[in-house]
Amino acid sequence: MNTVSVYIHIPFCKKKCNYCDFVSFADKEELIDGYVEALKHEITSIPQQLKIKTIFFGGGTPSLLAPKQLEKILSHFESRITYPEISIECNPGTVNLQKLKDFHKLGINRLSIGAQSFNDRELKTLGRIHTAKEIHETVENARKAGFKNVGLDLIFALPNQTLESWKETVRKAVELEPEHLSTYNLQIEEGTPFWKMTNDKPCLTAGRFQMSNNNFQLPDEETEACMYEFAIDYLKAKGYKHYEISNFSKPGYECKHNIVYWKNGDYIGIGVNAASHINNSRHENPNNFEEYFLMANQQSKGLAGKLASRPARDEISETIMMNLRLLDGLSKKEFKERFGKDIEELYKKEIDELEKDNLIENTKTHLKLSRKGLFLANLIFEKFVD
């Protein structure tokens, strides 16, 4: 039987963070009940023959929802979920012990905590609504509530962050013994408050900006590389497996849901702006409530009607790009099974060049990033797009 992963987008936040470019709204909590109803409509439309492999509540801030609201959503899957991985993203500023206990009772078995930093000044710069102490409490409460799979998200290359303060954040995160860690470098995305601050005054030198009359400087490329390098080496020494460019886990605790993305497998996204990928086709839901509600209420026609087929070439490029993100790399066998051709037949010249430049390792069974390639992955991905 075919399996599918389900992503559920919760586009509500107490407050928008300065770096966030996800579709989410800070002043629309009154819409949540209606939104839950719309999600239920969408869930109904998921073809019955598909078995649900994983569920991921992302945001926004899904932990902002009351356990009752989450229950309404999950119960709508009825008997279609048999012990899958069910994750929820969680902002430490939105949960207490009782809430986490309730989450656990609903069958949610993986917490992805948005810690971002263990330095209160940095948390403030990012516009987070919590302190480092609250991260500690949240992890403690999660354990008390029975969670055996807890992940922490961290961000590096923050304004005014030094290599030393990043090391401190990583060490403190590891002290909490999470099963999973994600480390991302800060990207200043268009439309975010950070983007405004860094781009509004072009007279300032690169990476320099002002916020509430304080001066900030983004770390340079060299520092950023050292930060990433530190995370890789330190986490490995502490028993974490580096399994994706930005992800580390204790053995067996890799995020199954995300691996579906990285294998460019099948998933259905429900909710505002959520993306789906099924049978080599992609679809994205509307990014505003008005259109979304309209669409969700017409779900009777099912997913099939809204999927756009795409050139096979794009599907191949994306599959390679995503699989190479995994440290195990791209399985040549899986590639051939999926596309009917050897990858080396399609990209001989590119692969030879990358190998010569020490950017990839080409083994009998796999194609994977080298250590150098991890830092320069875009140069590699670039070769496989048109």
Partner 1 sequence: MLKWSVDNIRNFSIIAHIDHGKSTLADRLLEFTGTIEKRQMREQILDTMDLERERGITIKAQAIRMEYQGYILNLIDTPGHVDFSYEVSRSLAACEGALLLVDASQGIEAQTLANAYLAINSNLKIIPIINKIDLPNAEPEKVLTEIKNVFGIEKSEVILASAKEGVGIKEILEAIIERIPPPKGSAKDPLKALIFDSHYDIYRGVVAYLRIMSGTLNSGSKILMMGNQNEYEVLETGILRLGLIPKKELFAGEVGYLISGVRNVRECRVGDTVTEARNPAAEPLPGYKPIKPMVFCGFYPVNTGDFEHLKDALEKLQLNDAALTFETESSAALGFGFRCGFLGLLHLEIVQERLEREYGIDLVATAPSVIYKIIKKGGGELLIDNPSSFPNPSIIEVIEEPFLKLSVFTPSEYVGKIMELTIDKRGIFKGVEYFDPTRVMATFEMPLSEMISEYHDLLKSVSRGYASMDYEFIGYVPSDLVKLDILLNSEPVDALAVIVHREKAYYRGKMLVEKLKEEIPRHQFEIPIQASIGSKAIARETKPALRKNVLQKCYGGDITRKRKLLEKQKEGKKRMKRIGSVDVPQEAFMAVLKLGK
Distances (CA, A) of 75 to 68, 99, 265, 268: 10, 18, 25, 18
Q: Which of 48, 82, 205, 378 forms a contact with partner 1 (CB under 8 A)?
A: 378
3-state secondary structure 260-287: HHHCCCCEEEECCCCEEEECCEEEECCC
Answer for which of 31, 32, 129, 225 binds partner 1 (CB under 8 A) is 225
Sign of the CA dihedral with 59 first, then 62, 65, and 69 last: positive
User: Is residue 134 a contact point for partner 1 (CB under 8 A)?
Assistant: no
* Binding of residue 180 to partner 1 (CB under 8 A): no
- Residue 364 CB, nearest approach to partner 1 (Å): 26
What character string, x for contact with partner 1 (CB under 8 A) and - otherwise, covers 311-330?
---x--xx--xx--x-----
Sheet-wide strand order for 366-369: 330-331, 366-369, 360-362
The Cα–Cα gap between 192 and 211 comes to 13
Binders in 136-175 for partner 1, by CB under 8 A: none
The secondary element (H helix, E strand) that includes residue 180 is strand 180-185
How far apart CA 211 and CA 218 sit, in angstroms, is 13
Q: Which stretch binds partner 1 (CB under 8 A): 30-38, 104-112, 191-199, 371-379?
A: 371-379
* Angstrom distance (rounded) from CA 24 to CA 273: 10
Give how many residues touch partner 1 by CB under 8 A. 43
- Per-residue x/- marks for partner 1, 94-113, CB under 8 A? --------------------
Question: Hey, which residues between 258 and 287 contact partner 1 (CB under 8 A)?
Answer: 258, 260-261, 264, 267, 269, 273-275, 277, 282, 284
**269 C-beta neighbours (distance < 10 Å), count:** 21
- Which of 37, 71, 334, 357: binder of partner 1 (CB under 8 A)? 357
The two tokens of residue 128 are 């987070």
Q: Does 377 bind partner 1 (CB under 8 A)?
A: yes
Alpha carbons 350 and 277: distance in angstroms, whole number = 27
Listed ranges 77-85, 134-142, 257-265, 299-307: which one lies at the site for partner 1 (CB under 8 A): 257-265
Is residue 177 close enough to count as binding partner 1 by CB under 8 A?
Answer: no
Binds partner 1 (CB under 8 A): choice among 221, 233, 291, 352: 221
Query: Which residues between 5 and 24 bind partner 1 (CB under 8 A)?
Result: 7
Distances in Å between the alpha carbon of 138 and those of 92, 109, 144?
6, 15, 10
Q: With binding defined as CB under 8 A, does residue 185 bind partner 1?
A: yes
Question: Which of 69, 165, 246, 370 is the binder for partner 1 (CB under 8 A)?
Answer: 246
Of 145 and 369, nearer to partner 1 (C-beta) is 369
On the CB side of 48, CA atoms within 13 Å amount to 3
Query: Minimum distance between the CB of residue 344 and partner 1, rounded to whole angstroms?
Result: 21
Distance CA(230)–CA(179), nearest Å, equals: 19
Identified binder of partner 1 from the candidate list 20, 245, 270, 272, rule CB under 8 A: 245
CB of 68 to partner 1, least distance (A): 27
- 117 vs 133: CA distance, rounded Å: 11
Least distance from C-beta 75 to partner 1, angstroms? Answer: 24
Task: Give the separation between CA 318 and CA 277, rounded to whole angstroms.
Answer: 12
| Min CB(375)–partner 1 separation in Å | 5
As given in the structure block, the two tokens for residue 310 are 């795409």
Pairing mode, if any, of strands 110-116 and 150-156? parallel
| Residues contributing to the site for partner 1 (CB under 8 A) | 7, 183-185, 187, 221-222, 224-225, 228, 245-246, 258, 260-261, 264, 267, 269, 273-275, 277, 282, 284, 314, 317-318, 321-322, 325, 357, 359, 372, 374-379, 381-382, 385-386
